[in-house]
Amino acid sequence: MRSPKFERSENLRWYHIPVLKNEVLEYLNPKPDKNFIDCTIGGGGHTKAILEKNGPKGRVLGIELDAQLYEKILKLNIDRLILVHDSYTNLREITERKNFRSISGILFDLGLSNWHLKEGNRGFSFLKNESLDMRYNSRSNLTVEKIVNDFSEQEIEKILKVYGEERFAKRISKKIVEERKKRKIQTTFQLVGVIKKAVPDWYQHKKIHFATKTFQALRIVVNKELENLKIALPQTLKILERNGRLIVISFHSLEDRIVKNFLKENSKKGLIKILTKKPVRPSLEEVKKNPKARSAKLRSAIKL
């Protein structure tokens, strides 16, 4: 049974297009009156889909680290949603604090929400001129501006190479250090301009924007995304009930590798059964409708 609160048009504007929605529902398999956790609620698209399946008494615990986005979702006053402003690194503690039990499924969508790109005003998008922040958690001290202006050339090169797999990491880091001597790099457009000066002309006309990997790498480091994922995944097996399901949607090869290795290790221990031998990818039709879905990979497992 659908919650009537989802029918209000003013609420719907906060829901982004959820990536791999049908596949999430297939592998999560939400049943009436069952409880689920959305560790990265973001715009709420996946949560909305789950709540449409697990009524009338099933609940979703939604976790959101970004204070602004948390407040916007909270104002919607969504029935059967328990919303928490916290990091999913505290997953087990959150469930104990909220007395959230009998968990049938846990979802991580590690992608950047549309809200952050379009309305966050924190430099997540290289298509808008904003300050170089990129923090989900405003209480954190590290920003992209600090990295590009204060870190050494070698440190920046390592970040771009390791976390962005950027082939021109050396050239970009060198150019960043050269340009910051002339003027502090404070905005997204400034950084894009520096990257443009550093990379070859042909690289600027590829299908994927030439600044994509640099921005991705800086965002991952500022928010400790890989470290946080490693902390959170083991907690899922502590709180999932037997036959409970885990789903992770990643958008970066390093994220996917962490998830893949976690599932393989725990499958060997006999703790889980892997449901996806290979990662599930979005269809061509979905990518046409939502180009941001193109790099998504879904992996799933069931707790034994």
Per residue in 206-223, pLDDT (tens digit) is 988 999 999 999 999 999
Which residues, in sequence order, are bridge partners of residue 272?
303
Sequence-distant (≥ 6) Cβ neighbours of residue 278 within 8 angstroms: none
State residue 202's pLDDT score. Answer: 95
In a domain, 126, yes or no: no
**Do 152 and 170 share a domain, yes or no?**
yes
State residue 120's pLDDT score. Answer: 66
Q: Is the pTM of this model over 0.85?
A: yes
Out of 222, 250, 268, a domain closes at 222
Separation CA 39–CA 110 (nearest Å): 9
In a domain, 41, yes or no: yes
**Do 180 and 268 share a domain, yes or no?**
no
Sequence-distant (≥ 6) Cβ neighbours of residue 18 within 8 angstroms: 24, 43, 45, 46, 48, 49, 109
In a domain, 134, yes or no: no
Separation CA 109–CA 292 (nearest Å): 13
Split into its structural domains, the chain has a count of 2
Total residues found in the chain within this entry: 304
**Do 24 and 63 share a domain, yes or no?**
yes
Find, among 27, 32, 28, the residue nearest to 1 by Cα: 32
Out of 170, 190, 222, a domain closes at 222
**Do 166 and 91 share a domain, yes or no?**
no
CA 50 to chain centre: 18
- For residue 237 the two structure tokens come to 């097996």
- For residue 111 the two structure tokens come to 């992608």
Q: Cα-atom radius of gyration of the chain, to the nearest Å? A: 20
**Do 231 and 217 share a domain, yes or no?**
no
In a domain, 128, yes or no: no
**Do 154 and 240 share a domain, yes or no?**
no
**Do 111 and 237 share a domain, yes or no?**
yes
At 97, which CATH number?
Answer: 3.40.50.150
In a domain, 125, yes or no: no
**Do 29 and 68 share a domain, yes or no?**
yes
Please identify every stretch of the chain with a pLDDT value under 70, giving residue numbers as ranges. Answer: 1-16, 120
Judging by beta carbons within 10 Å of its beta carbon (0-12, 13-18, 19+), is residue 30 exposed, middle or buried? Answer: buried
At 207, which CATH number?
Answer: 1.10.150.170
Out of 186, 202, 222, a domain closes at 222
Structural domain including 171 reads: 141-222
Separation CA 92–CA 224 (nearest Å): 19
In a domain, 122, yes or no: no
Separation CA 58–CA 35 (nearest Å): 5
**Do 162 and 95 share a domain, yes or no?**
no
**Do 192 and 270 share a domain, yes or no?**
no
**Do 177 and 272 share a domain, yes or no?**
no
Answer whether the bond into residue 56 is a cis peptide, omega within 30°. yes
Sequence-distant (≥ 6) Cβ neighbours of residue 85 within 8 angstroms: 64, 65, 67, 70
In a domain, 88, yes or no: yes
**Do 174 and 94 share a domain, yes or no?**
no
